[in-house]
Amino acid sequence: ITTTAWPGFLDSWLSRIPLPKWALIAVAVAGAILLLLFLICIIRCCCGKKKPKKKERISLCPISNSTTASLVQPEMEDLERGVEQMRRGKLQYSLEYNFRTQELKVGVKQAVELKAMDSGGTSDPYVTVYLTSDMKKRYETKVYRKTLNPIFNESFTFQVPQAEVPESTLVMQIYDFNRFAKHDIIGEIRLPLASVNLQHVIEQWSELAAASKVEEEQLGEICFSLRYVPSTGKLTVLILEARKLKRMDSHGLSDPFVKVHLILNRKKWKKKKTSVKKNTLSPYFNEVFIFEVPFSQIQNVDVVISVWDHNKVTKNEPIGKLFLGCRATGNQLRHWSDMLSNPRRPLAQWHILQPPDVVDKALGLKSHLKLPLASR
């Protein structure tokens, strides 16, 4: 049985639309395309999610040589730095410690393949040797002209107490000598003595490393107390003790004493000093000094604490200094401010000594003049 109901119905429905037949066909095709795109999007969204991959080892075997080189090839800067370090050379040295006399003997033997520092492709090398625990005592070898393989064969002796050996580092620096300019450092070796077995004589070669920053010389610490009474104008300075002072004598000790200076308006005013403590790097003083400073002048006063090494024959040498006052900074300013904030109360504190020339420069002292306000 056949029927024509559906086509007849479709023709009657299409005849009602006020559009030509070709326009209806175009609309139908566009709709079909849009529907197809919509279905494609749905399929991608639902099925396009990647399953989590298992961790796999990455093999570089299939990668071509050029790609591998590009992955591991260092920067030119790193290459130049590496080459520069390799060209510093080597140094042969020896170490011998005498436990009976507590002396460390350092032998500087020879160097090879040193870095050329001069325009002619050579250097004028010499070696500086010192211990970080006593940087004042430095030795230097002779200068050898126009060579990258000098033979020194020189030895130097340091007085090092056995208890201080683990805290010391031996530094050997090779310089290129310049007559009319600053000497250039070729390289250095830093050897912590704690890492060395000094029970036996040591002789070995070591690669020179790039020079590190110059360490600050450790001058020691000092503890003192400050007390100020505004009503009476009395400033009390109690020098208690010092520790780890810099060694100033040939036998590795010092004869320290302390000076206390009062500076008023950047001019020297009053001073007092402690007794001398013989042969020690950790002296105990417990000596008190009282200065009369009117309350109207306390803001203009600097207190300078300096530690000195006493010498009978030669001039006394300064070990280190520091100053307190409203112009001070750091711990010194804090100690001074605490004293002013707590009248009649003594306040003690440890301070690290600084190089004397640094403190003098910070103080900016004027020429010495006698002031009307004199010590009573």
**CATH fold of the domain at 88-207:** Immunoglobulin-like (2.60.40)
3-state secondary structure 285-297: EEEEEEEECCHHH
- Structure token pair of residue 52: 């989590």
Tell me the β-bridge partners of 292.
234
Contact status, residue 324 vs residue 333, Cβ threshold 8 Å:
yes
**Three-class SS of residue 110?**
strand
Which residues belong to CATH 2.60.40.150 in the chain? 88-207, 221-363
Residues 258 and 345: their CA atoms lie apart, in Å, by 23
Residue whose tokens read 């050579």 = 122
What pLDDT score was predicted for residue 281? 92
Report the run of H or E that residue 184 belongs to, with start and end.
strand 184-192
Other CB atoms within a 10 A radius of the CB of residue 171 amount to 19
CATH of region 221-363:
2.60.40.150
- Order of strands across the sheet that contains 221-229: 284-292, 234-243, 221-229, 347-352
Residues 6+ apart with CB under 8 A from 183: 175, 176, 177
The CA radius of gyration of the chain, in Å to the nearest whole number, is: 41
Which two structure tokens, joined as six digits, stand for 284? 């105990």
User: Which tokens is 274 given?
Assistant: 């402690």
**Cα→Cα distances 196→94, 101, 190, 227, 371, Å:** 12, 19, 12, 48, 59
* Strand residue runs (E) in 82-177: 90-98, 103-112, 125-131, 134-140, 151-159, 169-176
The mean pLDDT values, 10 residues at a time, for the chain of 376 residues are 53 65 76 84 69 46 40 52 67 94 94 89 91 80 92 92 88 85 85 90 92 70 94 94 86 89 88 93 94 92 94 88 89 88 91 88 64 44
